[in-house]
Amino acid sequence: MSDALDSLLSEMQVYYTWNYKSVSSSLNSLYEKGKKEQWNSSQALDWKLDVDPENLEKFPETSAILYGSDIWQRMNKKEQTECVYENTAWRLSNFLHGEQGALLSTAQLVVCVPFIEAKFYGATQVMDEGRHVEVFHRYLHEKVGTDYPVNKDLKALLDLILKDGRWDLKYLGMQIIIEGLALASIRVLRSIYKEPLLDNLLRLIMQDEARHVAFGLISLGDFYKQLSENERREREDFAYEACILMRDRLDGREMWEKLGLPVKECIEHNNNSIIMREFRQILFSHIIPNLKKLNLLSERIRPRYEEMGVLVFENNLSSEQEIASSNVIN
Ligand SMILES: [Fe+2]
Ligand SMILES: [Fe+2]
């Protein structure tokens, strides 16, 4: 088997839905929206545009995690530019691998979710995720010119989601946590990067991702209302652990090693600088209101999120409300 291939065993219940009866009008509207908003990546994006990933006007220094740190001050201009460049490649690679996880887990959802309208909507999402993998890969290879392997914490979470046979945990891990984080992260990246092709690509992806998070929220809403207390706690713990894994994957270790920088000092800056702390907190701005909506933010778990400094987002609009008011895309 080639090194590029990696496999795991996954067992799940396969649901046919022979009566084709749909019960959720919200999911049906989302399905209509999903069909209407399909885009063709070869035509919607101008791939002929020249991109120079070392142009600091388009890929500003402020996009580098180390910007402003002591290590940054010690670098010459060439090293700083290299740092910005690697940061771009590292970030987009994480998106690429996360998108592949989304493609696989959504394909599983179509199989194991027990209601027809979720299978319909899931089918549109499989198409969306395929397109996302395609465009991130194409941008990285045609325009950036380097990439990073999948980060181990991201891989651990993807494995967990793909192996678990319970359909609701696939939704919770992928649609609520990973996609919620991706949505917030894309929003921040769009405010930093000034490269038109990347901005357009992220804008189109963001439009799709907003629907995906709403899909999770709508599908889980009623199901989570009838869980036993034990089952509910288990979901609450799963969501928290997933958040921690996702937060810790952002330490950039692979990048510091490749750049030959002092790894410990770089991680220290990443973990403790005010700007990075704020950045990490913003990443949870979509997840927290959605967890609250799903009743997964009980008094028992709140202190742990409080410690992460992310409870300030609990009264933000949930993704369902955002998409209803079309507030997500700008
Ligand atoms: Fe995606
Ligand atoms: Fe997605």
Distance 35 CA to ligand 1 centre (A): 15
CATH number at residue 69: 1.10.620.20
Distance 109 CA to ligand 1 centre (A): 15
pLDDT of residue 325: 64
Residue 10, in any domain of the structure: no
Residue 87, in any domain of the structure: yes
From the CA of 95, the nearest ligand is: 1
Measure the CA–CA gap between 319 and 180, rounded to whole angstroms.
9
Residue 8, in any domain of the structure: no
From the CA of 130, the nearest ligand is: 1
Distance 181 CA to ligand 2 centre (A): 11
- Number of domains within the chain: 1
Distance 179 CA to ligand 2 centre (A): 6
Full residue range of the structural domain in which residue 63 is found: 26-37+52-324
Residue 16, in any domain of the structure: no
Around ion ligand 2, residues with a beta carbon closer than 5 Å are 102, 179, 209, 212
This prediction's pTM: 0.92
Residue 188, in any domain of the structure: yes
Question: Are the C-beta atoms of 85 and 143 separated by less than 8 Å?
Answer: no
Which tens digits make up the pLDDT trace of 8-41?
Answer: 999 999 999 999 988 888 999 999 999 999 999 9
Low-confidence ranges of the chain (pLDDT < 50): 1-2, 327-330
pLDDT of residue 17: 94
Residue 304, in any domain of the structure: yes
Which tens digits make up the pLDDT trace of 173-205?
Answer: 999 999 988 888 899 899 999 999 999 999 999
Which H/E stretch holds residue 139? none
pLDDT of residue 316: 78
Residue 225, in any domain of the structure: yes
Based on C-alpha coordinates, what's the Rg of the chain?
Answer: 20
pLDDT of residue 328: 46
Question: Are the C-beta atoms of 105 and 178 separated by less than 8 Å?
Answer: no
Query: Given the structure tokens 């090693």, which residue do they identify?
Result: 257
Question: Residue 207 burial (CB < 10 Å; 0-12/13-18/19+)?
Answer: middle
pLDDT of residue 4: 85
